[in-house]
Structure 1
């Protein structure tokens, strides 16, 4: 005997208007096994035959779904059911919760009679304006001494856009204490794992070049990460132009540059000294010309 739940409201409200579950008797256990030998289980709802086999041994039937999968555009609302199976001889109360904000369960807990299956409706609502990409969450069922996590994979469809920027590049310190600071920002709607390279060009040539390497962590859409690179062999008497380049696997590229002068007074002094040398040379040439004439 099966009691069907009323249809789940499709309106985009944070809570469901009614809570209901469908209870299905699992029938007599298989002759080769005694009832109550398996623990309760939680999995995406399957057909009646699959549920009956799950009750016999306390495990989801072969070929049944091990996780929820939802794919749709922003604003999509999908409905499904979580099946909690109790193959034992005593009632079982299971607490239910979702790890993602997009998932709504019809009930925070369910009490399952012996040798019975309870189907709990759930909805997955993709927020309007959500950028395309993959998102992972789970439905967690817990009871004393046991916890079951059922994965929920959501793929938001739509055009993919890769965009990356390198921001707030600056160099601090001097000598062995020199550090390069910058930020990576994912401006697109896809997760990026860019490779980073740093180059420094001084007055007399290249003074810094790092081999391209992958960023410490992947950048999901909208993420910002601040990074610091040590530069212990930075020159003390030079004016260096530092450049940071970030390149994603799909070819998306971003770069930024900044100027580093460990002695900020050195360039003006050198420029002044050069000007004085030019002036002295001009005076000397003028005197020679006058002497000849």
Structure 2
């Protein structure tokens, strides 16, 4: 499920730098009808749930973690694990880097280590530490609150550093988003690239790439303008996109275009905006929109043939040969208009006085 762009700040607890001590696991009986019950009883579910701890009874449920601090700070929070089933579960916890897949979906990096994935990195997932609580045993019908720390490196750059807490058991995983922000100057910057039209008619879609060139996560909106040979045609008004674009990420998206014309030469302009970011625009080269169905193509062909036939008929009529007698009469009329005598001789004043025949 997409994470909202504007998280509600949850004031983090700070502690002096150092290794997290023994886990404080609060194992309590789950009340009957707990919200986690339905998910736990699902045939495909892991049998347990993971979510941010609320800290006190009756507090609002947090959909994710939100932690912020200056470089070098050590922050604290807690993860709540619930086991409403009749059997014991053993869950392993880790931090992971979060990123966008090519289509904009949120995802987390796989675990590091021999045979498990890339070598250990320096991303925000590596800043999360569960200490000796990385493996948690959950007896039946119990709930465990597991503390963890987030150590912001002294050299960490300002802005958002997306991460996640991942709980794993026997191939089942549950992730909770962790919004980390390092204090300092923030930059919201967005670009639109590689705009193109795919398909024709009602099946036409607009393909494009969004790139987050800043250091904060963005919730973009998009507007589509289309200009044809005879003026503007139907595009799409500004609307929110179902994606959270993380810093430094690029995503390839497609946009439906229900108003695509059946026949026109169209130039598309996409305008993307996001809170705090300057307006970004991208254009596609002008391209012909043609009918998709065979009947539509047939009608277009007949229309073009009819236009060519009309043009040919007009040229024939304007360039038809004239009758020789008609051409001679027109030439004589032009001669009289220029004041010439027949035979091409210039008429003179003497001709007028002597009554020379005309």
TM-score (norm 2): 0.44
Q: Tell me how far apart the structure 2 counterparts of residues 215 and 22 of structure 1 sit (CA, whole Å).
A: 41
User: SS state of the match for residue 251, structure 2?
Assistant: strand
Greater Rg by CA: 2
Q: Tell me how far apart the structure 2 counterparts of residues 178 and 22 of structure 1 sit (CA, whole Å).
A: 56
CA RMSD of aligned residues (A): 5.1
1:97 maps to 2:123:
no
* TM-aligned CA deviation for residue 154 of structure 1: 3.7
- Please point out which of 149, 163, 169 is paired with 2:189: 163
User: SS state of the match for residue 261, structure 2?
Assistant: coil
Q: Tell me how far apart the structure 2 counterparts of residues 236 and 63 of structure 1 sit (CA, whole Å).
A: 58
Whether contact under 8 Å (2:128, 2:149) holds in the other structure is yes
* TM-aligned CA deviation for residue 247 of structure 1: 1.3
Whether contact under 8 Å (2:266, 2:289) holds in the other structure is no
- Please point out which of 268, 275, 288 is paired with 1:242: 268
| Count of aligned pairs between the two proteins | 213
* TM-aligned CA deviation for residue 214 of structure 1: 0.7
Q: Tell me how far apart the structure 2 counterparts of residues 206 and 93 of structure 1 sit (CA, whole Å).
A: 62
Q: Tell me how far apart the structure 2 counterparts of residues 229 and 156 of structure 1 sit (CA, whole Å).
A: 34
Partner residue of 1:78? 74
User: SS state of the match for residue 188, structure 2?
Assistant: coil
1:132 maps to 2:172:
no
TM-score (norm 1): 0.52
Partner residue of 1:106? 131
Whether contact under 8 Å (1:178, 1:230) holds in the other structure is yes
Whether contact under 8 Å (1:95, 1:109) holds in the other structure is yes
Whether contact under 8 Å (1:98, 1:104) holds in the other structure is yes
User: SS state of the match for residue 242, structure 2?
Assistant: coil
* TM-aligned CA deviation for residue 159 of structure 1: 0.7
Partner residue of 1:222? 248
User: SS state of the match for residue 259, structure 1?
Assistant: coil
Q: How does 1:1-293 map to 2 (within 5 A)?
A: 21=22, 38-39=28-29, 70-74=67-71, 76-78=72-74, 97-100=93-96, 101=125, 102-107=127-132, 108-109=134-135, 123-127=149-153, 128-133=155-160, 135=162, 137-138=164-165, 154-250=180-276, 252-262=278-288
